[in-house]
Amino acid sequence: MAVFSSNPSPRSGGNDAAPANRSSTLPAGFASPAQDYYDAGIDLNRHLIRDATSTFIMRVSGDAMDGAGISDGDEIIVDRSLTPKDGSVVVAVLNGELTIRRLLLTGQGIYLHADSPGSTDIRVPDPAELSVWGVVTRCLHHV
């Protein structure tokens, strides 16, 4: 999921085996002495993402989930492979739009609940109409 634009450096042309220009602080053509210890750092991908194949990052727009600590502009980690449960924060498809809500499976029916005062819950009349895009596992909250 990580992305670079390839950054060919004219200087490393003569040496194919040289490490490519990984960052602006690493001149092409020189191996970093720290390279062999690279894995000692904390890799957030490994800790925050359970299954990279089915995990996507999305950005929240709106404040209906403020009460859950998920604010406007926050990034969320969404895993499609998880089964949503009662209380799960999910991305659901509502009227053709991706919408974040808390899923409530109650005796009275299925609700997409907004965690902020003043917002109204949405009742899902028919379970077959509930379309969960994925389950939110983390929120990267901007502080």
Query: 4: Cβ–Cβ under 8 A, 6 or more apart, which residues?
Result: none
The residue whose two tokens read 């449960």 is: 85
Residue 50 within binding range of other proteins, rule CB under 8 A: no
- Cα–Cα nearest to 28, from 12, 16, 4: 12
> Contact at 8 Å (CB) between 101 and 114?
yes
Site string for other proteins, 58-97 (x = CB under 8 A): xxxxxxxx----x-x--xx---xx---------x-x--xx
Considering the complex, what minimum distance in angstroms separates the CB of residue 107 from other proteins?
27
- What is the separation of C-alpha 128 from the centre of its chain, rounded to a whole number of angstroms? 26
User: Helix, strand or coil for residue 12?
Assistant: helix
Residue 102, token pair as written in the block? 């808390």
Q: Indicate the residue among 91 and 103 with the shorter CB distance to other proteins.
A: 91
Residue 93, token pair as written in the block? 């498809």
Considering the complex, what minimum distance in angstroms separates the CB of residue 106 from other proteins?
21
Instruction: Tell me how far CA of residue 85 lies from CA of 30, 124, 128, in angstroms.
Output: 51, 15, 16
Residue 57 within binding range of other proteins, rule CB under 8 A: yes
Residue 51, token pair as written in the block? 């299954």
Residue 133 within binding range of other proteins, rule CB under 8 A: yes
Considering the complex, what minimum distance in angstroms separates the CB of residue 94 from other proteins?
8
Q: Indicate the residue among 10 and 33 with the shorter CB distance to other proteins.
A: 10
Residue 139 within binding range of other proteins, rule CB under 8 A: no
Can you give the binding site for other proteins, defined by CB under 8 A?
1-14, 16-17, 19-22, 35-36, 38-39, 51-54, 56-65, 70, 72, 75-76, 80-81, 91, 93, 96-100, 114, 119, 131, 133
